[in-house]
Amino acid sequence: MQFQRNNLSNETLIDLYKKLLYPRLIEEKMLLLLRQGKISKWFSGIGQEAISVGATYALQPNEWIMPLHRNLGVFISRNMPLQKLFQQWQGAEDGYSKGRERSFHFGSKEHFICGMISHLGPQLAVADGAALGYKLKNEQKVALTFTGEGGTSEGDFHEALNVAAVWNLPVIFIIENNGYALSTPVNEQYRCKNLIDKAIGYGMEAVQIDGNNILTVYDTVKGVREYCIKNQKPYLIECITFRMRGHEEASGVKYVPKEMFEQWIEKDPIKNYEHFLIEEKILGNLTVAHIRDELKNEIEQSPLAPEGSSLAPGGGIVNASASEKDITQRELEDVYAKQTNEINIISQSEKRVRFPPPGARAPLRFIDAIKEGLHQSMIQHSNLILMGQDIAEYGGAFKITEGFVNEFGKERVRNTPLCESAIVGTALGLSLENFKSVIEMQFADFVAVGFNQIVNNLAKIYYRWGQNADVVIRMPTGAGVGAGPFHSQSNEAWFVHTPGLKVVYPSTPEDAKGLLIAAINDPNPVLFFEHKALYRSINAQVPETYYEVEIGKAKKVRIGVDVSIITYGMGVIWANEYAAAHPEISIDILDLRTLLPLDYKAIRNSVNNTGKVLVLHEDTLTGGVGGEVSAWIAQNCFEFLDAPVMRCASLDTPVPFNTELEKNFWAKSRLDEMIQKLINY
């Protein structure tokens, strides 16, 4: 192994040695603790340290890094306190994730490290977002992200590299090619000769280097960083290395030929660099021994468990003095980031926003109310970025953003490639750099392609390590427009099962504007459902001012005593039409407006008013929101009920294209039957 010092001082070379050695010694300690049962799992980076350390050393300390589970050198090189890292790995409350995450699935905004999730590909697009933030602020920085050779087979790899290339983002993509994705060798992973060949398709520069040579890694990343900043372009680096232990300790290494270990042990990054330093008389044997002893002593002196803690049943450490009730309350409170800004709020009891006097302003259509809320938010927040397919010059599939690009420019109103997953990840990366973003899914159906980023990355990140995801995803949804199975689904129930998300579904122009503004102001990820059939079919008076409708609060639409209809979205329209056509029935109508979190107090009051409840929604019956609402009522409001809680929903089929079949599919076609059944029970 040939080392080129490239005018680096002896002090720098020695500092690199210490940073390279330190994670190896920590790992040796962790493997001992694993055998002693003091930690539950460990993903080893032994043999790969030079990549993490060299890359981190080449960056500025305030540039974001998106590491994976073998990048201990990133955390150590960013000078994270070892005691707190030990607490993290033991699942202690005082760790970076309060005992909620394992090993390296955590981040720290203070150290500009973004925590990974187990799905490895999403990290790549998050780096795109951080780099876009730098670009928008004209900062001379790069974002750096790691993946393995196995991760290059994921769609997220393609999407992230493509977005970075198309948008000219200063991102460094590092592939740690260690030969195996768990047990799958490279010859079963890809067919190109080298992984850097993939860069050609993106018009991206790339280089393959020896990932075990610390000076090569450092010098390469340093030079690439300068290239990315100067040219505002991404770069791909493939680091050839080897994993000296199993994917994780329990999996072993029986699938690896013995001769490969013999070959790669000779390429050990620490042993070779140490030999170079001694040979060049930069260090002596006694100094090397002293450095090792000093680092080992530092490791041994770091306490493993905080005082007053005890082992939890799952192997983690919790505060022994905390009651189960206290722990539960804290856990629930930490699902959502807290909102700090105050905006005028329309509430049911007190309307603090004036409506225009009759005739002073024409009623707004549902679609125009959304557009106005979005437009006013763009003015209110100079850090708000819009992203979506065809939303710039074309104005979006439904023309909601038409004209925005002329007013706010292409930096803030951004057409995206066809890559829902990467754009959601990019939005999260923007949030790291304190930007807000609104993503337009062309149709709610297409969100399936970005599902993982939403439910595993956006939703959980605040609970995991306190980083908020300031992202709104607009979801044009629903049937009734003859669009068939892939442009008509009501898929809101996919997301209400995911803690950390907020799910909003307005039914009136007034609520559509106010709830959208509230969603943009909320620091948490919000899925904002907009029924396509309502866009141009309903209108109403809407305040001209900038206002919020509070997320999490239902609205009483109609007061009645005979039967309650609890509903949302298009169901509110159906319920109102039915009530108007049947004045002989006193119907209580509750518009949920927010599906996560639900307004249980309002639900309880509606049930108490009538004793007979129909939960109505357009979504299919099985697994819909109505099932959750019905179960909650049965469990918490049983004493009020005079009949079983009933549900009225659409057929358990895909949405048909033929308009007559679509009418038959819709819950509306069974509404009268269900109401009569409930009234006559």
Hey, which residues are catalytic here?
487
Residue 68 and residue 147: Cα distance in Å, rounded?
7
- Own/partner long-range contacts of 310-316 (Cβ < 8 Å, ≥24 apart): 312/91, 312/99, 314/40, 314/91, 315/37, 315/39, 315/40, 315/91, 316/90, 316/91, 316/92, 316/99
Does the N-terminal peptide bond of residue 356 adopt cis geometry, omega within 30 degrees of 0?
Answer: no
DSSP assignment string, 104-169: T---BGGGTBPPP-SSSTHHHHHHHHHHHHHHHTT----EEEEEETTGGGSHHHHHHHHHHHHTT-
Closest to 618 measured CA to CA, from 569, 551, 561, 656: 569
Closest to 68 measured CA to CA, from 128, 24, 138, 127: 127
Strands 384-388 and 436-440: parallel
State whether the Cα torsion 468-469-471-475 is positive or negative.
Answer: negative
Phi, psi of 82 (to 5 degrees): -65, -35
Contact 143, 127 (CB under 8 A): yes
Residue 557 and residue 565: Cα distance in Å, rounded?
10
**Separation of CA 187 from chain center:** 32
- Provide the 3-class DSSP secondary structure of residue 351: strand
Sorted by sequence, the CB contacts under 8 Å of residue 329 that are 6+ apart come out as none
Sorted by sequence, the CB contacts under 8 Å of residue 364 that are 6+ apart come out as 372, 509, 513, 539, 540, 541, 542
Residue 599 and residue 557: Cα distance in Å, rounded?
14
- Counting every residue, how long is the chain? 681
**Residue position matching structure tokens 């307005």:** 506
Side-chain half-sphere exposure of 496, counting CA atoms within 13 A: 22
Sorted by sequence, the CB contacts under 8 Å of residue 388 that are 6+ apart come out as 396, 401, 414, 415, 416, 423, 439, 440, 441, 442, 474
Instruction: Write the secondary structure of 262-322 as one string of H (helix), E (strand) and C (coil).
Output: HHHHCCCHHHHHHHHHHHCCCCCHHHHHHHHHHHHHHHHCCCCCCCCEEECCCCCEEECCC
How many helices, marked H, and strands, marked E, lie in the chain? 22, 25
Q: Angle 49-58/269-279 helices, nearest 10 degrees?
A: 60
Q: What are the helix (H) ranges across 323-403?
A: 324-333, 366-380
Residue 140, both tokens: 């001379």
Residue 639, both tokens: 């004493």
Phi, psi of 366 (to 5 degrees): -55, -45
